[in-house]
């Protein structure tokens, strides 16, 4: 488990994270959502030890990420949104850099590259941005780490590649892994991320599983307008509406509608889910 307690970080006078407290549990693929500038990337870099918390603490199964202990470094991977185009073949890159991760599996790298329809013999500096991104995704999965942090991994991927990415994430990660994916592209990932974390400026508005969300909020897809809706949006054929779940009826969570509901009713949502 990763335990984050009263975490704070600022760039100069500008506080980005303030009193962030939450737990990340094994066997979960967390979706990290939030508007630009709320600290999603900062949180990821703090979790992997690239930045030092200025307040509070992060405990990763009894270890402090900023201590950069080799045992933890070899069991975590951070995939940045910015990926360097190395002057070498993808397979050579994987063979050379994979040895820094104890569990790296070259055969898995080649297999995932095949799933992503990417050529491991192609030079990385001759790849398109999407091909380069898929190379690093394959490498990240081949490292077989328990802790995997990904910042906007579907940026630059075309529609077929996004489906391939979802398949790869669900098939090639460990059962005990803790995966945290920061994204603006919620439709790309809505079938695999659970729980959902929504960050606001200096606050956690929501950290809940889809089951917990559907127990407390009801997502209606009918053409009838609901007077008590917390959020309503017209779509072809009707509306997406979100209201409090008074009846306990099940519904399919729409993550975009959830995000908009949370931002319209921040204190209400925090009160509902922090009881």
Q: Which domains does the chain have, with CATH numbers?
A: 2-206 (3.40.50.300), 209-273 (no CATH)
Q: Do 94 and 46 form a contact (C-beta atoms < 8 A)?
A: no
The pLDDT of residue 175 is above 80? yes
The predicted model scores a pTM of: 0.93
Best mean pLDDT range from 19-23, 185-189, 226-230: 19-23
Q: How confident is the model at residue 27 (pLDDT cuts 50, 70, 90)?
A: very high
Distance from C-alpha of 8 to C-alpha of 108, rounded to nearest angstrom: 38
What is the SS3 assignment for 195?
A: coil
Q: How far is CA 56 from CA 12, 87, 134, in A?
A: 17, 41, 35
Residues 6+ apart with CB under 8 A from 271: none
CB 194 within 8 A of CB 41: no
Question: Bridge partners of 10?
Answer: 15
pLDDT tens-digit readout, 136-156: 999 999 999 999 999 999 999
Find, among 20, 10, 28, 31, the residue nearest to 178 by Cα.
28
Residue 205 to residue 259: CA distance in whole angstroms: 10
d(CA 131, CA 212): 37
**Would you call 3 helix, strand, or coil by DSSP?**
strand
Nearest to 142 by CA among 106, 97, 180, 95: 106
Residue of higher predicted confidence among 78 and 190 = 78
As given in the structure block, the two tokens for residue 234 are 């017209």
Q: For residue range 196-219, what is the model confidence (pLDDT) as tens digits?
A: 999 987 789 999 999 999 999 999
What mean pLDDT comes out for the span 128-134?
97
Q: What does the pLDDT average to over 7-29?
A: 93
Using CA atoms, how far residue 147 sits from 71, 142, 167, 223, 264, in Å, is 12, 13, 19, 43, 32
The pair phi, psi for residue 38, each rounded to 5°, is -85, -5
Beta bridge partner(s), residue 194: 29
Q: Is the per-residue pLDDT at 222 higher than 90?
A: no
Percent of the residues in the chain that have a pLDDT greater than 90, as a whole number: 85
Q: How far apart are CA 78 and CA 177, in angstroms?
A: 13
- For residues 90-114, average pLDDT: 97
- In angstroms, the CA 251 to CA 64 distance is 40
């Amino acid at each position: 488990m990763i335990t984050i307690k009263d975490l704070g970080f600022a760039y100069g006078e500008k506080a980005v994270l303030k009193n962030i407290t939450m737990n990340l549990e094994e066997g979960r693929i967390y979706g990290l959502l939030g508007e630009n500038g709320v600290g999603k990337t900062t949180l990821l870099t703090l979790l992997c030890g690239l930045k030092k918390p200025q307040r509070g603490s992060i405990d990763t199964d009894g270890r402090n990420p900023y201590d950069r202990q080799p045992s933890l470094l070899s069991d975590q991977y951070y995939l940045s949104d910015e990926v360097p185009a190395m002057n070498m073949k993808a397979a050579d890159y994987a063979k050379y850099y994979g040895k820094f991760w104890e569990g790296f599996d070259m055969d898995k790298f080649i297999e995932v590259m095949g799933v992503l329809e990417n050529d491991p013999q192609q030079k990385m500096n001759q790849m398109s941005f999407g091909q380069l991104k898929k190379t690093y995704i394959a490498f990240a999965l081949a490292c077989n780490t328990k802790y995997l942090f990904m910042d906007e991994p579907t940026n630059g991927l075309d529609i077929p590649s996004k489906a391939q990415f979802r398949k790869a994430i669900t098939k090639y990660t460990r059962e005990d892994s803790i995966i945290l994916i920061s994204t603006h592209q919620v439709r790309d990932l809505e079938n695999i991320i659970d729980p959902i974390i929504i960050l606001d400026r200096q606050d956690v508005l929501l950290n809940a599983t889809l089951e917990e969300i559907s127990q407390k909020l009801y997502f209606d897809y009918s053409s009838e307008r609901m007077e008590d809706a917390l959020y309503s949006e017209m779509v072809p054929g009707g509306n997406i509406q979100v209201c409090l779940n008074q009846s306990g009826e099940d519904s399919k969570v729409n993550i975009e509608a959830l995000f908009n509901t949370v931002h319209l009713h921040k204190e209400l949502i925090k009160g509902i889910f922090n009881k």
